[in-house]
A and B are shown apart, each in its own frame.
Chain A
Amino acid sequence: MNAVIKSHVISLLEKNIRYDKRKFDQFRPIEIEYGISSKSAEGSARVKIGETEVVAGIKMELGTPYPDQPDKGTIVANVELLPLSSPEFETGPPGIESIELARSVVDRGIRESNAIDFKKLCIKKGEKMWITYIDGYSINDAGNLADAIGLAALAALKDAKFPKYDEKTEKIDYEEKTKKKLELKELPIPITVIKIRDKFIIDPLLEEEECAEARLTVTTIENGDIVALQKGGEAPLTEEEIEKMVDLSLEKGKEIRKLLK
């Protein structure tokens, strides 16, 4: 990124002004669209945050339960930062950035909050389970892909319905979707706070992400508990700073959660 823009972002922030004039704790407009791939996916959604756009989809397949959890099904989260969405992203297998997003923003929040009852994904103990694949993709990167993908994954799960499972043949008929929804008991919302100098801002633009010294993604649930944390960036954080960032995430998480209801 242009060094001139970078120093401009920072000098503005020092005067308490953001690059696009938003408040420090203000999101860009958020749009959620459900069922964008309803012919093929079990659930799907598109999320736009300002100019940032992502999509997520759910596919359900059959598998054998893990030996240590014979009465549970599972989820598999995957994120790809498509080269279609930014000149910075390259073709090839998911890089470390995508893997971090898949694990820290999508998988961990859903798994640790018990948003999905894995026992309900078991079809026959020790023999057959549902594997719920959650795939998130960037379509246009204009900053804050993490929160967008986290939100899209939840929206796609909310949209998901089981395909028809035939007990006799033990196969799935993907053409026929049932009315049975994939129940979500919690809405674990990931919110990323970035630190530039002594300022903390949310929903960063690309220009702001470039200047970030540290970031913290905090995933919270309705009752205010934390279900996932991921620190990124080079700079260390003090205890005070962490508390501040967590409180900001918690407050924003409440707002964003309402959009999914």
Chain B
Amino acid sequence: MTYNKRSDGRKFDELRPIKAEVGVIPRAEGSARFQIGKTVAVAAVYGPRPLFPKFLKNNERGVLRCYYNMLSFSGSGERVRPGPSRRSKEIGLVTEKALAPALDLTAFPGSTIDVFIELVQTDAGTRCAGITAAAMALADAGFPMKDLVSAIAVGRIDDKIVIDVDKSEEDYEGGMADISIAMMPRTGQVTMLQMDGYLKRDELREVLKTAQKACAEIYKNQKEAFEARYTK
């Protein structure tokens, strides 16, 4: 099988239009909005602040807590029931793991840094948009970071490796793999790697190379958002 044309006419290695903005929630220590195509993620950071209940505390290092949530009207199809789901909890967890390597949590023993990610509208790639927004929010809050974190969903659809999968591609009924990747773009170190689907060993290399290119592009947009906010 050959996948010849993407449903929205994009090139196989083309990202959807990106809009990145920081400082969108004045009440938070740091915040960001990241839009890729029709997927819109907003992230806010609070802390470092005291962590309760006490047994969750770690006196050696701070705790990073990430909460991922879809607003009830943001899904395709029926209303998303409010409250955490198994899916949203798992995404919260992988988001923590994706962001933590960029931070120095030993600087905040006994405290928590809370990151809240809300999806206002979704068209696939939501965890990646959330992580990308959250990394910007952390930097906006002024945390010293080794690097930003940029994330992208790469797909394998039939014989093609495609970048920034949208919902219609995610639902593709032929051969498909959906790979979510987060990396620290300067070093290329991967901080999140998840896959649903079916992939050949050799295709993985191409997936990672493709993700690296896409993250470089996203990184550029992230940095531009900071320039727009803080230098102009």
Contact = CB atoms under 8 A, between A and B. Distances in A.
Contacts of B42: 84, 139
A34 to B, nearest CB: 13
A33 B97 CA distance: 35
**Interface of chain A, helix or strand or loop or mixed?**
loop
A130 to B, nearest CB: 12
A261 B116 CA distance: 34
Interface in B171-207: none
A218 interface: no
A55 B71 contact: yes
A57 B78 contact: no
Interface in A130-184: 133, 135, 137, 139-142, 174-175
A57 B40 CA distance: 14
Nearest to B72: A135
B27 A80 contact: no
A137 B118 contact: yes
Interface of B: 24-28, 38, 40, 42-44, 46, 49, 67, 69, 71-79, 82-83, 114, 116-118, 120-123
Chain A contact residues (Cβ within 8 angstroms of B): what range?
35 or more
Of all A-B residue pairs in the complex, the 10 with the closest CB atoms, nearest first, are A57-B73, A84-B116, A41-B73, A59-B79, A37-B121, A84-B44, A135-B72, A39-B38, A140-B25, A174-B77
Contacts of B75: 40
Interface of A: 36-42, 44, 51, 53, 55, 57-59, 61, 78, 80, 82-87, 91, 93-94, 133, 135, 137, 139-142, 174-175
A141 B27 contact: yes
Nearest to A60: B79
15 contacts: A37-B74, A39-B38, A44-B73, A55-B71, A57-B71, A59-B79, A82-B116, A84-B25, A84-B117, A84-B118, A86-B27, A135-B73, A137-B71, A141-B27, A142-B26
A83 B114 contact: yes
